[in-house]
Amino acid sequence: MAGSRRRLLAGIAGSGFACLAGCATGNTDDETAFTVGLASDPTDTSRYDNWGGMAPYWTRVIEPLVWGTDDMQPKPWLATDWTATDDTTWVFELREGVPFHNGEELTADDVVHTFEENILTERGDFVYGWLHLEPGSVTKRDEYTVAFETTDPFPGFPGTIAHNMIDIQPPAADRQAGEIIGTGPFTLEEIRRGQYVRVERFADYWGGEPNPTELTFRAAEDETTRTDLLESGEVDLIYTPAKSRLSSLRDRDDVRIASQQSTGATSVWLNVHREPTDDVSLRRALNHAVSQTELVETVLEGVGEPARGPISTVVDWVDEDELPTYERDRDAARDLVDRSAYDGTELTCLVDADMDDGKLIGQVLQSAFDEIGVDIDLAVLERASINDRTERGEFHLQVGSTGSNSPGADYLMWENFHTMGIENKDLYEAEGTGLYNLGGEVDDHIETGYQARDPATKRDAYLEAQRTIMDAAVVVPLFYQAYVVAADAAIEGLELHPIDAFAEWSNLTRTADTNE
Amino acid sequence: MIAGLDTVVAALRRRYRAVRTSRTTAAFFANPLNGVGLVIVAVLSIAAVFGPVIAPYDPTSQDLVNRLQPPTPAHPMGTDQLGRDVFSRLLYGARLSLGIAVAVTAIRLVLGTAIGLLAGYVGGWLDELLMRLVDVQLAFPGLVLALVVAGILGPSLRNVMLALAVVGWASYARLVRSSVLSTKEREFVQAARLMGVSRRRIAVRHLLPNVVGPLVVLATMNLGTVILGTAGLSFIGLGAQPPTPEWGTMLSAGRHHLREAWWLANAPGATIMLTVLGFNLLGDGLRDVLDPTHDEPLEKSI
């Protein structure tokens, strides 16, 4: 009797574990179902960009009008064409015959509803400045034509709306209730808070039926846990495996590693309006103190590219060969320090506590700067504390990154380096200073690039601005970011994009022989 | 001069013999674990005091080419992610950890003793007020409260010390108060009072000495928990800032390399474990000799 009770309890426990495992990972027995381990929780409702309980990224349930090419150009998607009819008016032609997941066809009404209600009204001020639109600025011209009236001339508009957040949904979708209806290759089936989002194949997808029948996007924010999940076979593919285990993963036959340079770039940002980092000699000295190659090869385990400029080279108007170069030269750096106004005081360097490898990078920099006689104090702080310090300009250096989730990357120049950019504007208006803004000709070049419709003009203007910025050593470029995806070697057809959230899953397949 | 030195040496020898043969020493060493605790604490204290002399390398000196090297004769505990010698960092970390533990425990001891003495001796509404304060403090899980305090103050070792100090004094206050309540009614205290001895003198000369034994035991055991608390807060980023060689910070950094560089997390982890064990064993031993009638746990752990 006791034995049978034990067997019963064991059976219940076993079934419970099996159910839990099944719930957590989806149906992994299905050769056409895949589980993806993400570095951020796709169900995190505290995020500002979480649409109805599901992050708009990666899942490919919803789609924007414009997509991005691999070289970061706007690419027709739900819109097939667009034209600027005057300085502030953009007319978009919609793709005909695109079905939503509820069977309705995409029309201009859906686009107007999405922009006016879901984006401009619901999201408010923060999207006005980003998209250069205000409520009432999106109008229907005909069933498949929509006009956008921007608040000021904005040539970067098509690239800017090529963003997962600027997705089109019909009025029928009650997003607040978690009902998400899109046009993407996958339909939303289940959201389990803090655990996963499960989507299924949309057979009527306008771009052709995708291969996978089911995708599960699982939250696995700790890199070690994420890597363990891949190695144990609980997930098929993970973003950003633990760097410390990359070399062992590369040695394995049953794991495939792919990496892709992203739009991100990490630099040391120097406050040019605070003593002593307002001294260009000191800033150049700091540039001569660092070996980007060594940093990438050691701390980053080869993930990333040594940087010579502040913006990733995947952005089409960046050409680092045109920028001034600072090789590591400690003697030259010491001479520059001697010539500068630096008097040996300790400089404050902010590091975001959540930044990948931030503490290690900070310590490498601290040691490198110490070699040339510059003393820095690392302040590893939470994001809110860093914002507080930067808003008041109370720091000298900051280890930080900049990148874009859309092909419209003009704002990287404007927001960081223009006097009226978000980083500099408040301090400029309050004290006539800023953080990383040189003003004058840099502002002029950025304005020219920002308003240029001709790509060559844009490129020349931005390159000139970057040249001046690097000549004045406003940043110490460290590395252009890359992301790594590790997958079961049996999986084929993964297409990575410089914007990681633009990954294409439709062609995923699993080869049967490798899986056995 | 030499005769004077001989006198001192002879006195020391006599003292040593007296201690060695005393009942207290015998009681302490009757349990071998007490000796183990004493040895661990002694070794750690020596490492902390002479760390800079013993350490083979500068704890912050980086060697990126030789990063993540396994233990070798040159680096007995291997190197970390930036090629720093783990053994040297542990030695310097001992100074920090023990220093913080002593400072925090001293603050708790002084604060808690003063409050307990005041509450027990004065009594009345002041006793009620102070004891409710103690109740409130003990109602919070210590480490969680320390985490809140450290989170508000911002990440730094100084703030961790403050956070741990303000949450751990209540045990001392309660211990001292209960001892004072029973002692103040005894004849020698009454006699002193009748002789006109001042209240302050009675408190310091007659009441406090009676609680020294349990206090020493509590403080010793507290040292271990403070070290654990400091390491815990540093582990989650609220304590030491890089490149400070602090055990909790080292453990935190090493956890990402558990598979391919096991020594990174295990070296500080084992050191923390040994240190806490050492103080706990020593505390148990001291309790055996200083507070032999005690059979209840003295400490509310943080």
In chain B, residues with a C-beta closer than 8 Å to the C-beta of A364 are: 62, 64, 82
Chain mean pLDDT for chain A: 90
Which candidate in B69, B246, B259, B264 is best for mutational testing of the A interface (most A CBs within 10 A)? B259
pLDDT at position A334 is: 97
At position B122, the amino acid (one-letter code) is: V
Whether residue A39 is predicted with pLDDT greater than 80 in this model: the reply is yes
Nearest to B82 among A245, A353, A364 (CB): A364
CA distances from B97 to A264, B89, B105, B225, B234 (A): 39, 12, 12, 11, 11
User: Could you tell me which residues of chain A have a Cβ less than 8 Å from any Cβ in chain B?
Assistant: 223-224, 242-245, 247-248, 294, 298-299, 353, 359-360, 362-364, 366-367, 377-381, 385
Whether residue A436 is predicted with pLDDT greater than 50 in this model: the reply is yes
Cβ of A362 within 8 Å of Cβ of B242? The answer is: yes
| Tokens found for residue A262 | 């992203």
> Which residue from B minimizes the CA distance to A243?
B256
Nearest to A380 among B62, B67, B155 (CB): B155
Question: What's the CA gap between A73 and B157, in Å, rounded?
Answer: 49
Q: In this structure, is residue A6 part of a structural domain? A: no
SS3 label, residue A257: strand
As a whole number, mean pLDDT of residues A45-55 equals: 72
Query: ipTM > 0.90?
Result: no
Cβ of A360 within 8 Å of Cβ of B237? The answer is: no
Q: Are strands A74-76 and A491-492 parallel, antiparallel or unpaired?
A: unpaired
As a whole number, mean pLDDT of residues B219-239 equals: 91
pLDDT at position B20 is: 66
Higher pLDDT, B6 or B91: B91
Distance of CA A171 to the CA centre of its chain: 28
User: What percentage of chain A's residues is helix, strand, coil (to nearest 5)?
Assistant: 35, 25, 45
The topology (CATH level 3) of B33-290 is: MetI-like fold (1.10.3720)
Whether residue A263 is predicted with pLDDT greater than 80 in this model: the reply is yes
Spell out the residues 6+ positions from residue B128 whose beta carbon is closer than 8 angstroms to its own: none
In chain A, residues with a C-beta closer than 8 Å to the C-beta of B262 are: none
Nearest to B257 among A244, A299, A380 (CB): A244
Which candidate in B57, B60, B160, B241 is best for mutational testing of the A interface (most A CBs within 10 A)? B241
Percent of chain B's residues with pLDDT above 90: 50
Of A504, A69, A493, residue with least CA distance to A314: A69
As a whole number, mean pLDDT of residues B247-265 equals: 91
> Are B262 and B106 within 8 A, CB to CB?
no
Cβ of B62 within 8 Å of Cβ of A379? The answer is: no
- Print burial letters for A4-30: b (CB count within 10 Å at least 16), e (below 16): eeeeeeeeeeeeeeeeeeeebbbebee
In chain A, residues with a C-beta closer than 8 Å to the C-beta of B258 are: 224
Q: In this structure, is residue A19 part of a structural domain? A: no
Which candidate in B58, B64, B69 is best for mutational testing of the A interface (most A CBs within 10 A)? B64
Cβ of A244 within 8 Å of Cβ of B261? The answer is: yes
In chain A, residues with a C-beta closer than 8 Å to the C-beta of B67 are: 298
pLDDT at position B292 is: 55
Q: In this structure, is residue A167 part of a structural domain? A: no
The answer to whether B241 faces chain A, any CB pair under 8 Å, is: yes
DSSP string, B207-267: IGGGGHHHHHHHHHHHHHHHHHHHHHHHHTTSSPPTT---HHHHHHHHGGGTTT-HHHHHH
> Are A418 and A447 within 8 A, CB to CB?
yes
Nearest to A380 among B60, B237, B257 (CB): B237
Residue A140: its H or E element: strand A138-142
**A380: distance to nearest CA of chain B, Å?**
7
> Which residue from A minimizes the CA distance to B66?
A298
Which candidate in A232, A348, A367, A370 is best for mutational testing of the B interface (most B CBs within 10 A)? A367
Q: In this structure, is residue A10 part of a structural domain? A: no
The answer to whether B256 faces chain A, any CB pair under 8 Å, is: yes
> Which residue from A minimizes the CA distance to B62?
A367
CATH code where residue A71 lies = 3.90.76.10
pLDDT at position A27 is: 43
Q: Which of residues 100-159 of B touch A (CB under 8 A)?
A: 154-155
Question: What's the CA gap between B69 and B84, in Å, rounded?
Answer: 10
Judgement on whether residues A376 and A503 belong to the same structural domain of the protein: no
As a whole number, mean pLDDT of residues B150-171 equals: 88
SS3 label, residue A149: strand
Q: Which residue has the tokens 């690239």?
A: A159
pLDDT at position A126 is: 78
Judgement on whether residues A231 and A279 belong to the same structural domain of the protein: no
**A388: distance to nearest CA of chain B, Å?**
13
Question: What's the CA gap between A113 and B170, in Å, rounded?
Answer: 62
Question: What's the CA gap between A63 and A162, in Å, rounded?
Answer: 9
Q: How many domains does chain A fold into?
A: 3
pLDDT at position A22 is: 43
**pLDDT tens digits along A108-164:** 999 999 999 989 988 878 788 889 999 999 999 999 999 999 999 999 999 999 999
Question: What's the CA gap between B156 and B153, in Å, rounded?
Answer: 8
DSSP-assigned beta bridge partners for residue A146: A92, A140
Which candidate in A222, A225, A244 is best for mutational testing of the B interface (most B CBs within 10 A)? A244
> Which residue from A minimizes the CA distance to B255?
A224
Cβ of A363 within 8 Å of Cβ of B62? The answer is: yes
In chain A, residues with a C-beta closer than 8 Å to the C-beta of B155 are: 353, 380-381
**B86: distance to nearest CA of chain A, Å?**
15
Lowest pLDDT segment from A175-184, A225-234, A404-413 = A175-184
**B241: distance to nearest CA of chain A, Å?**
7
Cβ of B82 within 8 Å of Cβ of A242? The answer is: no
Q: In this structure, is residue A179 part of a structural domain? A: no
Q: In this structure, is residue A70 part of a structural domain? A: yes
CATH code where residue A36 lies = 3.40.190.10
> Are A362 and A378 within 8 A, CB to CB?
yes
Cβ of A385 within 8 Å of Cβ of B154? The answer is: yes
Which candidate in B61, B62, B250 is best for mutational testing of the A interface (most A CBs within 10 A)? B62
Q: Are strands A33-38 and A214-219 parallel, antiparallel or unpaired?
A: parallel
Lowest pLDDT segment from A136-145, A470-479, B247-256 = B247-256
pLDDT at position B185 is: 84
As a whole number, mean pLDDT of residues A319-341 equals: 95
Cβ of A380 within 8 Å of Cβ of B82? The answer is: no
DSSP-assigned beta bridge partners for residue A215: A34, A199
The answer to whether B236 faces chain A, any CB pair under 8 Å, is: no
Nearest to B260 among A244, A367, A385 (CB): A244
In chain A, residues with a C-beta closer than 8 Å to the C-beta of B243 are: 363, 366-367, 378
pLDDT at position B13 is: 80
Judgement on whether residues A329 and A361 belong to the same structural domain of the protein: yes
Q: Which residue has the tokens 């062609």?
A: A507
Question: What's the CA gap between A161 and A172, in Å, rounded?
Answer: 22
**B224: distance to nearest CA of chain A, Å?**
27
What domain range includes position A294?
A: 261-482
Q: In this structure, is residue A177 part of a structural domain? A: no
Question: What's the CA gap between A132 and A148, in Å, rounded?
Answer: 10
Higher pLDDT, A348 or B23: A348
Q: In this structure, is residue A438 part of a structural domain? A: yes
The answer to whether B261 faces chain A, any CB pair under 8 Å, is: yes
Question: What's the CA gap between B246 and B100, in Å, rounded?
Answer: 11
Nearest to A379 among B81, B241, B258 (CB): B241
Higher pLDDT, A18 or A146: A146
**B16: distance to nearest CA of chain A, Å?**
49
Judgement on whether residues A228 and A308 belong to the same structural domain of the protein: no
Band (A516; pLDDT cuts 50, 70, 90): very low
| Tokens found for residue A64 | 């924007």
**B104: distance to nearest CA of chain A, Å?**
24
Lowest pLDDT segment from A14-18, A116-120, A508-512, B188-192 = A14-18
Judgement on whether residues A404 and A353 belong to the same structural domain of the protein: yes
Judgement on whether residues A400 and A289 belong to the same structural domain of the protein: yes
DSSP-assigned beta bridge partners for residue A214: A33, A200
Spell out the residues 6+ positions from residue B110 whose beta carbon is closer than 8 angstroms to its own: none
Judgement on whether residues A330 and A438 belong to the same structural domain of the protein: yes
> Which residue from B minimizes the CA distance to A225?
B256
Judgement on whether residues A100 and A143 belong to the same structural domain of the protein: yes
> Which residue from B minimizes the CA distance to A293?
B64
In chain B, residues with a C-beta closer than 8 Å to the C-beta of A366 are: 242-243
Judgement on whether residues A359 and A388 belong to the same structural domain of the protein: yes
**pLDDT tens digits along A404-426:** 999 999 999 999 999 999 999 99
Judgement on whether residues A229 and A343 belong to the same structural domain of the protein: no
Question: What's the CA gap between B286 and B283, in Å, rounded?
Answer: 5
In chain A, residues with a C-beta closer than 8 Å to the C-beta of B64 are: 294, 298-299, 364
In chain B, residues with a C-beta closer than 8 Å to the C-beta of A377 are: 241
Q: Which of residues 159-218 of B touch A (CB under 8 A)?
A: none
Cβ of B155 within 8 Å of Cβ of A223? The answer is: no
